[in-house]
Structure 1
Amino acid sequence: MSGAVSETILQEGGLLCYSFLFGIALMMLYDILRIFRHIVKHRTILLAVEDALYWIICGIGIFAMLYRENDGLLRWFVLGGVAIGMLVENGLFSPWIIRFFVKIIRFSLKVSGKVVGAAARPGKKLFLFFRKELKKLRKVIKIGLDKQ
């Protein structure tokens, strides 16, 4: 024996690494969903629909990965690699990622709200002025019509 690793073992090792990274990517996709849920409050039914769609997308993605990388053969170590990748990302990176992006998005929404509010202030004053003048005009027209 020459001590070299067979080509099949190398391919399966590469597939395991790929499935691990794919699991991390799937969990990052779920992080995006969780960030969205922190920003926009949801009801239970919408949460269930979002989760169902997420898992359908995950299933299709895993199937496509197995089909492309392993000729459609189901290998349990691939599913294990995906699961471990998801667990690692969820345990190590997910809390930081979610907290960071929720803060950034909330800050940017707050700033943009202030900018829009400041830009709308002159328009609001103009609107109130015209509304007041139109009420006066309406009153004058009504009095004029009543005299006839």
Structure 2
Amino acid sequence: MNHAITVELEFFLISILWGLILMLVYDALRILRRLIKHDEFFLAVEDLIYWVAASLFIFAMLFKVNNGIIRGFSIMGMAIGMLLYRTLLSDMIVNSVTRFIKVLLRPISLAVRKIKQFIMFLSIRIKKIAKILYVRLKKVFNSFKIKRDKRKQASIAKKDRKNAEKLKKKEQKKRTKELKQKKEANM
């Protein structure tokens, strides 16, 4: 066989292999999406990043192997590789790897679930204790407040009594003075 044809056939087979590799990487992204739920926005961002990286990969491959010359049969080879992988292997690999990873993560998931339950149990207990303490402290505070108010009222009443006694004494002095003055005036 001619050397030039052998080189082109090799390049075509490498293009098929690169198509397989591109789809294998995309399947890794699909597995990640099955394990971790994504919003539509993040799906779009992931796809955009994947296709930008894939285009850079394809450009580097074409530049290195074929001096940057884009040939139809190389693109066709990548498309054939992608289609072969997608129809023959993709679903089987994604399903089996996803199941395997979930089996590996099951103990961790169980431990995380138990830790969450324990934290919820503790938080409920702590809230109950805090509520009981709050009610008791409020009662104690109110009793101190009542005692303080009683002391204030007692001190105010004491001051009022002292003032009343002082007024009585002043009035008695005034009356005795007036009586003395009347007696002196009558004499």
Q: Once the 2 structures are TM-superposed, how far is the Cα of residue 120 of structure 1 from its aligned partner?
A: 5.0
Aligned to 1:14: 10
Shift of 1:48: 3.1
CA distance in 2, matches of 1:119, 1:63: 49
Deviation of 1:50 after TM superposition, in Å, equals 2.7
Q: Give the structure 1 partner of residue 139 of structure 2.
A: 143
TM-superposed CA distance for 1:142, in Å, is 1.0
TM-score, normalising length: structure 2: 0.66
Q: Give how far 1:77 is off.
A: 1.2
Give deviations 1:6-64, integer Å, cap 9, x for gaps.
33222222211211111000001111122223233444443333323322222111111
* Aligned match of 1:64: 60
Structure 1 residues 114, 17: closer, same or farther in 2, change over 3 A? Answer: same
How far off is 1:126 after superposition? 4.2
Residues 126 and 42 of structure 1: CA distance in aligned 2, closer, same or farther (over 3 Å): closer
Question: Greater Rg, structure 1 or structure 2?
Answer: 2
Mind listing any 5+ residue stretches in structure 1 that lack a counterpart? none
SS of 1:24's partner is helix
1:97 aligned to which of 73, 93, 97: 93
Quick check: 84-93 or 43-52, which moved more?
Answer: 43-52
- What is the distance in 1 between the residues matched to 2:122 and 2:44? 46
Which digits, 9 at most, give the CA deviation of each residue in 1:99-123, with x for residues without a partner?
A: 1122223334443221223345555
Secondary structure, counterpart of 1:72 in structure 2: coil
Q: Which has the higher helix share?
A: 2
Match of 1:130 in 2: 126
Tell me by how many angstroms 1:75 deviates.
Answer: 1.5
Q: Equivalent of 1:33, from 16, 23, 29?
A: 29
TM-score, length basis structure 1: 0.81
The structure showing larger relative contact order (alpha-carbon pairs under 8 Å, at least 6 residues apart) is 1
Alignment counterpart, residue 20 of structure 2, candidates 21, 24, 29: 24
Between 60-69 and 27-36, report the one with greater CA deviation.
Answer: 27-36
Q: Pick closer, same or farther for the CA change 1:123–1:53 going to 2, 3 Å.
A: closer
Question: Matched residues, percent identical?
Answer: 33
SS in 2 for 1:74: coil
RMSD of the TM alignment (CA)? 2.2
Deviations 1:53-90 (A, max 9, x none): 32222211111100011111112111111110000000
Whole-Å separation in 2 of the counterparts to 1:46 and 1:114: 27
